[in-house]
Structure 1
Amino acid sequence: MTLNTPFPAPTAAQREGAPNVYALDSDYAVLQAVGADALTFLQGQLTNDVAGLPADAARFGGYCTAKGRLLATMAYWRADTEEVPGVRLLVRRDLAEALVKRLGMFVLRAKVKLSLTELRVFGVEAPQTTALTEVAEAAGAQLPAQAWQRADLDSGTWIAAPAAAGASPRWWWIAALDQLAGNAAALAASAAADAQAWKAADIAAGLPWIQASTQDVFIPQTVNLELVGGVSFTKGCYPGQEVVARSHYRGTVKRRMAYGVLAETPPAPAAAGVDVFDGEREDEPSGRIVDVAGAAVLFETPLAALETGHAPRVGAPDGPAITVTALPYAIVPQG
């Protein structure tokens, strides 16, 4: 048996005392909505408030089908120009193009243009004080410390990412090619191509990133979207809003997303969308993997299954066990 840890070992590119930088372009993409109606259009599409988004902040949210099932989750922020309002959205790359097309179906007469940008996406962690200094020098200013706060600098957009308790400060860094100059260019050049450690930190923070293999599977509450601030119950209508609101106000959410670490390496790689078994019922799966990176796993499961004390299993009733670990927020049963 090979015991696992949730975070892969640092790569050779990650110097002691230096920032850990990850190239995320292969996993994430940035969309944009630009135009006079960009805010109002997205206000009527996403689960979270867009119209009231502060200029110095980002938010997490989702995009649902009419039946309330998630087609995407995203971090989004204002990206206005002098002429028109704009919003940028960070999403999983494997669903980005389809998302632009689907949202475009509902533009109708709204003055908004949707497109996939060529912006670079990095993840940056500062495990030590010396790393904080180096990141600030590369960014060109002190960076926000509170999760979801944002700074637009000459080096690009920096968004403070949520993290597990006691974890290192970290940021999403989104930049155009012409912003990667000077110290920023050196920081980007140090990026590790293998971003598993960054994704594992997202998982430990309990962020439910929907990807192509998990589209149209989960309603927002079953992946804790409202627990990470990704749902507004007062913003008004959006696709699936009635289903999401009914589940919230009637207290019918009996399934949640949990976090754990694989106790051993599976014979076949664990992947998003793979079945999870609760250890008691061997005839059928009880849930599915939402996201996985190395040994770190987010999985959707009945709350009752978590209360049994039986280790969940991946892929089969006798598959690799998941050691359930606390999320940085409480999973509170409704009702």
Structure 2
Amino acid sequence: MHAFYSSIPVRAEGCASCAPLEDFLVFSAAGADALTFLHGQLTQDVTGLPTDAARLAGYCTAKGRLLATLVMWRAATGADDEPQLYGLVRQDLSQALLKRLSMFVLRAKVKLAATALNVAGVQATPEQAAALEAATGALPRAAWQRVDLPSGTWIAAPSANERLRWWWIASDEQLEHSAALVAILSLAPAAHWTAGDLAAGIPWIATATQDVFIPQTVNLDLIQGVSFTKGCYPGQEVVARSHYRGTVKRRMAFGTLEDASLDNAALAGVDVFDATQPGEPIGRVVDAARDAGIASVLFETTLAALPEGDLRLGAVDGPSIKATPLPYSINP
């Protein structure tokens, strides 16, 4: 953990919270062909991405199954050999992702590399945001908008409630010049931020869930993570067929479990069952977090199981999952 985060005290409610996200990594794509190369690899319209915005994207196999999800944004305009795009991904799959993407570069002028940028999640009430902006400058309020400030890049993250959320990406130098923020931030665990991601319905693919889901079954198409007009990319035919034929019968849902003994780190990929229909599992966990004694999960399942099903984790008689609506509709 960077020394800046270690200097933030743990305070009671009243200050914006800052959670260092050490399980995430930022990579860069540099070179004259960086944008067009990634445009042909990801589910998102890379070349059409506004400079003041970020977007979710997926990277799929040829069969349309996700190997990664990422938040991506354009870099400030510079020389061709400087970064043209940045991507935020889970740390555990980052090395394999960059290696696989690099295999397809061929003659394209693009270089993919991990960066040393620091990642944190900042959450604030509207009242706390005023004090935060006094130190940072104006921050984006609408989800997926972004701004580059002296303290770093701030990307507004979706939220399930009135709280404002930002991914804060900063270099070591930028953190060292952000001392004024220490006085108005409270250090929070990464699980506190992750729980907010889950409640907002943001699907982060990890090593345990690679090559399992197509974009639609983790709702990537419902949260601006898939472009159906951009043209070809690996798995595009499968993704497009599911979209235009209306054959998506599985979606990602959100739920909570009041079981403080659960190890959220080991829940990704665990099966979900319906106790009213014993037998085969009806889905599996996409991601999980435990915050304030409550475990929350994003899980992929059949739409038919959600209204009436008695959802259980890991086994028919496993812990009960209380399904809670996401901030966007998952019904067709």
TM-score normalized by the length of structure 2: 0.91
- Asked whether the equivalents of residues 31 and 117 of structure 1 are also in contact (C-alpha less than 8 Å), the reply is yes
- What is the aligned residue count? 318
Q: Distance in 1 between matches of 2:21 and 2:209?
A: 20
Q: Distance in 1 between matches of 2:252 and 2:42?
A: 20
Question: SS state of the match for residue 179, structure 1?
Answer: helix
Unaligned runs of 5+ in 1: 1-10
Q: Distance in 2 between matches of 1:44 and 1:128?
A: 39
**Cα drift, residue 186 of structure 1:** 4.2
Unaligned runs of 5+ in 2: 1-7
Could you tell me which of 250, 254, 258 is aligned with 1:255?
250
Q: Distance in 2 between matches of 1:113 and 1:65?
A: 21
Counterpart code for 1:22: A
- The reply on whether 1:127 has 2:122 as its aligned counterpart is no
- Asked whether the equivalents of residues 62 and 234 of structure 2 are also in contact (C-alpha less than 8 Å), the reply is yes
Deviation track 1:253-305 (CA, whole Å, cap 9, x = no partner) reads 11110111114345665611001001223222111000101111100001111
- The reply on whether 1:317 has 2:312 as its aligned counterpart is no
- The reply on whether 1:157 has 2:162 as its aligned counterpart is no
Query: 1:1-335 alignment to 2 at 5 Å?
Result: 13-25=10-22, 27-84=23-80, 86-129=84-127, 131-139=128-136, 141-164=137-160, 166-184=161-179, 186-187=181-182, 192=187, 194-265=189-260, 269=264, 271-294=267-290, 295-307=295-307, 309-333=308-332
Q: Distance in 1 between matches of 2:274 and 2:85?
A: 41
- Asked whether the equivalents of residues 21 and 187 of structure 1 are also in contact (C-alpha less than 8 Å), the reply is no
**Cα drift, residue 81 of structure 1:** 4.3
Q: 1:251 to 1:188 in 2, by over 3 A?
A: farther
**Cα drift, residue 332 of structure 1:** 2.1
Counterpart code for 2:311: P
Q: 1:189 to 1:255 in 2, by over 3 A?
A: same
**Cα drift, residue 128 of structure 1:** 4.9
- Asked whether the equivalents of residues 265 and 320 of structure 1 are also in contact (C-alpha less than 8 Å), the reply is no
- Asked whether the equivalents of residues 156 and 173 of structure 1 are also in contact (C-alpha less than 8 Å), the reply is yes
TM-score normalized by the length of structure 1: 0.90
**Cα drift, residue 203 of structure 1:** 0.4
- Asked whether the equivalents of residues 37 and 111 of structure 1 are also in contact (C-alpha less than 8 Å), the reply is yes
Deviation track 1:148-179 (CA, whole Å, cap 9, x = no partner) reads 00001111100000001x33101000000011
Q: Distance in 2 between matches of 1:278 and 1:249?
A: 29
- Asked whether the equivalents of residues 23 and 191 of structure 1 are also in contact (C-alpha less than 8 Å), the reply is no
Q: Distance in 1 between matches of 2:255 and 2:18?
A: 24
**Cα drift, residue 193 of structure 1:** 6.1
Counterpart code for 1:110: A
Q: Distance in 1 between matches of 2:258 and 2:315?
A: 15
Q: Distance in 1 between matches of 2:71 and 2:178?
A: 26
**Cα drift, residue 188 of structure 1:** 9.8
Question: SS state of the match for residue 180, structure 1?
Answer: helix
Deviation track 1:19-73 (CA, whole Å, cap 9, x = no partner) reads 1000002x11001101100110000000011000111000011000000000000
- Asked whether the equivalents of residues 15 and 184 of structure 2 are also in contact (C-alpha less than 8 Å), the reply is no
Q: Distance in 2 between matches of 1:184 and 1:228?
A: 35
Q: 1:268 to 1:81 in 2, by over 3 A?
A: closer
Q: 1:191 to 1:216 in 2, by over 3 A?
A: farther
- Asked whether the equivalents of residues 10 and 188 of structure 2 are also in contact (C-alpha less than 8 Å), the reply is no
Q: Distance in 1 between matches of 2:182 and 2:315?
A: 43
